């Protein structure tokens, strides 16, 4: 099996559907993944939007196996693998590498705060060394608004220097263009920088970035991919403005329940609204206001129902 190539483009942090008993709903997950792949985007499972930290390592391993068994091509799939416990991160990362996944999206250990770059370097390095696979491709996951533990440009540079064939990219979900720009300014050879929101997609592409990994790809993949493909077009600014309008509408609500409400409404399946505690589904009033706002934008997803 050939080693995974470095990624670029648009990836979707796939929402995880649940049954009434809060177990993962594999049938709906596979259906959603297949639709996303048909829209020319890749898959990023078990990150923030996937409620990844509400799933156990065993559940994630089982779901990865079942997705691949269902025909989801692992070369178009990356898995979130970062946990607080080193051994959990190693176990899930090694499994993703064995399956042939295109890479892993790795959070830093996020329970302890005020961590030094030295400690974080030791954590990432220990995972890489223990997995010990030439096929492992690590995309770092920088999301300080939620994790409260960041990955500094200096740490990125050190990890890439030490593991140039393994640490190949980063998802910057800081929400701060200045941070993304600082990463781009490092000038690391073939290092793939993804923004965590399509709001920054055009700027990222214009400055040499690789694309985006954004929660709203779950509902708007074709339009986001169109901007990625046509960022040099004279219509790029208009496309970006349209993406921003939809994004700003959805993020007025808790993002994960909002996305699930939208998907459930489009599919006519209320089961999609189920989230694992401590998250809660949108209330009827919230859902109504969100769907009305989307209707005013003329939002629709042709071909969504398969």
Mean pLDDT of 157-186: 98
**Do the Cβ atoms of 43 and 72 come closer than 8 Å?**
yes
Does any domain span residue 82?
A: yes
**Do the Cβ atoms of 64 and 79 come closer than 8 Å?**
yes
Does any domain span residue 76?
A: yes
- Rounded to an integer, what distance in angstroms lies between the CA atom of residue 285 and that of residue 114? 40
Per residue in 138-150, pLDDT (tens digit) is 999 999 999 999 9
2 confidence band (pLDDT: 50, 70, 90): confident
pLDDT of residue 49: 98
pLDDT of residue 302: 62
**Do the Cβ atoms of 42 and 7 come closer than 8 Å?**
yes
Per residue in 280-293, pLDDT (tens digit) is 999 999 999 999 99
Of 22, 12, 70, 69, the residue nearest 45 (C-alpha): 12
Beta bridge partners of 48: none
Does any domain span residue 221?
A: yes
Does any domain span residue 267?
A: no
**Strands (DSSP E) along 131-203, which ranges?**
138-142, 167-172, 192-195
Beta bridge partners of 140: 106, 170
Is residue 209's pLDDT more than 60?
yes
pLDDT of residue 306: 52
pLDDT of residue 300: 82
- Rounded to an integer, what distance in angstroms lies between the CA atom of residue 21 and that of residue 301? 29
Query: Percent of the chain beyond pLDDT 70?
Result: 98
**Do the Cβ atoms of 81 and 101 come closer than 8 Å?**
no
Query: Percent of the chain beyond pLDDT 90?
Result: 96
pLDDT of residue 3: 80
Backbone angles phi, psi at 220, to 5 degrees: -135, 45
Is residue 249's pLDDT more than 80?
yes
R_g of the chain, CA atoms, integer Å: 18
Does any domain span residue 80?
A: yes
Q: What is the DSSP letter of 34?
A: H
Does any domain span residue 243?
A: no
pLDDT of residue 305: 57
Number of domains observed in the structure of the chain? 1
CATH number where 184 lies: 3.20.20.70
**Do the Cβ atoms of 37 and 72 come closer than 8 Å?**
yes
Say what the pTM is.
Answer: 0.96
Is residue 218's pLDDT more than 90?
yes
Task: Report residue 127 as tokens.
Answer: 């995972």
Does any domain span residue 262?
A: no
Domain of residue 223, residue span: 9-230
Per residue in 30-70, pLDDT (tens digit) is 999 999 999 999 999 999 999 999 999 999 999 999 999 99
Mean pLDDT of 66-79: 97
Is residue 197's pLDDT more than 90?
yes
301 confidence band (pLDDT: 50, 70, 90): confident
Does any domain span residue 264?
A: no
């Amino acid at each position: 099996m050939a080693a995974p190539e470095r990624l670029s483009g648009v990836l979707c942090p796939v929402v995880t559907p649940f049954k009434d008993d809060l177990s993962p709903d594999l049938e709906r997950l596979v259906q959603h993944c297949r639709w996303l792949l048909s829209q020319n985007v890749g898959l990023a499972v078990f990150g923030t939007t996937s409620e990844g930290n509400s799933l156990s390592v065993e559940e994630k391993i089982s779901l990865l196996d079942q997705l691949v068994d269902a025909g989801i091509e692992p070369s178009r799939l990356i898995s979130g693998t970062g946990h607080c416990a080193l051994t959990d991160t190693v176990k899930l990362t090694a499994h993703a590498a064995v399956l042939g996944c295109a890479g892993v999206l790795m959070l830093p250990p996020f329970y302890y705060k005020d961590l030094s770059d030295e400690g974080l370097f030791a954590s990432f390095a220990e995972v890489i060394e223990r997995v010990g696979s030439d096929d492992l491709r690590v995309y770092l996951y920088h999301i300080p608004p939620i994790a409260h533990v960041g990955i500094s440009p200096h740490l990125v540079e050190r990890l890439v220097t030490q593991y140039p064939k393994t640490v190949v990219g980063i998802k910057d979900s800081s929400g701060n263009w200045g941070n993304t720009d600082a990463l781009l300014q490092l000038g690391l050879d073939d290092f793939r920088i993804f923004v965590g929101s399509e709001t920054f997609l055009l700027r990222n592409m214009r400055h040499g970035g690789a694309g985006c990994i954004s929660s709203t790809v779950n509902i708007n993949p074709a339009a986001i991919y169109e901007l990625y493909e046509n960022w040099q077009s004279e219509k790029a600014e208009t496309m970006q403005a349209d993406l921003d309008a939809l994004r700003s509408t959805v993020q007025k609500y808790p993002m994960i329940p909002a996305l699930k409400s939208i998907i459930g409404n489009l599919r006519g399946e209320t089961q999609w609204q189920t989230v694992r505690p401590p998250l809660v589904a949108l209330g009827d009033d919230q859902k109504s206001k969100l769907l009305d706002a989307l209707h005013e934008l003329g939002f629709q997803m042709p071909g969504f129902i398969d």
